[in-house]
Amino acid sequence: MQATLTARCVRPAGVRPSAAQRARLQVCAATHEIAVLSGDGIGPEITAATLPVLTEAGRAEGEEFAYTEAPIGGAAIDATGDPYPASTEEVCKASDAVLLACIGGYKWDTLPNAQRPEKGLLRLRSSLNAFANLRPAVVLPQLADASTLKREVVEGTDILIVRELVGGIYFGEPRGFKEENGERVGFNTMVYRESEIERIARVAFEAAMKRGKQLCSVEKSNVLEVSQLWKEVVTRVAADYPEVELSHMYIDNAAMQLIRNPKAFDTIVTGNIFGDILSDEASMLTGSLGMLPSASISEPGKPGIYEPVHGSAPDIAGQDKANPLAMVLSAAMMCRFGLNLPKVADRLEAAVTAALDAGYRTGDIMQPGCKLVGCQEMGRVVLQYVEQQATAKA
């Protein structure tokens, strides 16, 4: 996949610039190749609101983005019969980063398991070996009252959950159904290798070093052998990070403490299924899934996947009610963790904060005295604040 000439151009997969265009690119600043997977439901809406904001934030720092669209999930099923077609995999592997909106919807719920949209997401993660999922849960002061918990419980919460993403019970074999003693039995296998545990542990320790230097490893070692191995390996890796305070907690206790005293946590590392549960629980501390980004990263030099935590919300799709801020913040995580563009990330995050400070709210985070706006308008407001930053800098 070749770079396009302008960050404002969104091209379909397979369209490449001419040789003359590629030659001119050689004397220009590097263009960051972004695979854009808008997916299903509200995905196209929040994508459309986000790309101009990302483009402008990049322009202000002298950076260009080239966007190549490709289908995934239900949209890919409708177009090709496959939730993750080979053409999409090719685009993603050739990119510098993957910006994903959301997938799934009621339309595809009756399909066989192997053909459902969610399989496309699992295959995307596996194909890029995106083994580490970073899920921040930060309670912004402007939205502390939007949480279902008391302000004094959640205000100041700043948690990063590091979840192993391509192993564990979601991928373990054997799995399936069988007949036993005259009835159907469903079974799955939870398995982790030492190498898989060590690499996710190192990602978590490195993240903790950049934060509060506290890491809590969550497992169920009082019952599960796989968790006993997890605890042993994480403890061993801790010797390489003497500045980080390591603690261990059973998953059931962690789920309780996350609600009881969320500010006690800084960085959490855990396996796939436990991380799936804890990260969704932590997201509700903030008051809305519409505010939460995530990053799924691979080995250095390989593209990561950056996506909002929320789902495709088919019940509000096409109604201009979606909150695009998690998508904008996912783009910020992409710039910070995937493209090494911290100044662009800072601009995006500052623009989101400015929009909230000015009282703009989508329906999911609406509060008394604030201004209700739709997805498109929220995108325009954030873009306006990015442009104001650029003007002030100039």
User: Cβ contacts of residue 253 below 8 Å, gap of 6+?
Assistant: none
- Checking if the pLDDT of 225 tops 80, the result is yes
Each residue's pLDDT tens digit, 124-133: 998 999 999 9
The answer to whether 365 touches 143, Cβ cutoff 8 Å, is yes
pLDDT band at 335 (very low <50, low <70, confident <90, very high): very high
Give how far the C-alpha of residue 105 lies from the chain's centroid of Cα atoms, to the nearest Å.
Answer: 19
Alpha helices by DSSP H, listed for the chain, are 19-25, 43-60, 74-80, 86-94, 117-127, 151-154, 194-209, 225-238, 251-260, 272-283, 325-333, 342-357, 375-393
Which candidate in 280, 302, 320, 343 is catalytic? 280
Each residue's pLDDT tens digit, 290-304: 789 999 999 888 999
Each residue's pLDDT tens digit, 23-54: 433 434 579 999 999 999 999 999 999 999 99
Each residue's pLDDT tens digit, 249-279: 999 999 999 999 999 999 999 999 999 999 9
Say what percent of the chain tops pLDDT 70.
Answer: 92
Catalytic annotation present for 220: yes
Each residue's pLDDT tens digit, 127-151: 999 999 999 999 988 888 888 899 9
Average pLDDT score, the chain = 91
- Checking if the pLDDT of 9 tops 80, the result is no
Give how far the C-alpha of residue 258 lies from the chain's centroid of Cα atoms, to the nearest Å.
Answer: 20
Each residue's pLDDT tens digit, 156-176: 999 999 999 989 999 899 999
pLDDT band at 337 (very low <50, low <70, confident <90, very high): confident
- Residue range 361-377: mean pLDDT, rounded: 95
- Residue range 304-329: mean pLDDT, rounded: 96
Tokens of 31: 């263009």
Catalytic annotation present for 158: no
CA distance linking residue 193 with residue 54, whole number of Å: 38
pLDDT given at position 113 = 86
CA distance linking residue 310 with residue 326, whole number of Å: 8
Which candidate in 109, 145, 240, 252 is catalytic? 252
Which candidate in 40, 67, 96, 220 is catalytic? 220
For residues 234, 240, 243, 248, the Cα torsion angle rounded to the nearest 10 degrees is 10
Which candidate in 276, 306, 360, 364 is catalytic? 276
Each residue's pLDDT tens digit, 302-313: 999 999 989 999
- Residue range 377-393: mean pLDDT, rounded: 90
pLDDT given at position 15 = 46
Structure pTM? 0.82
Catalytic annotation present for 82: no
Which candidate in 93, 107, 158, 170 is catalytic? 170
pLDDT given at position 393 = 66
CA distance linking residue 115 with residue 77, whole number of Å: 8
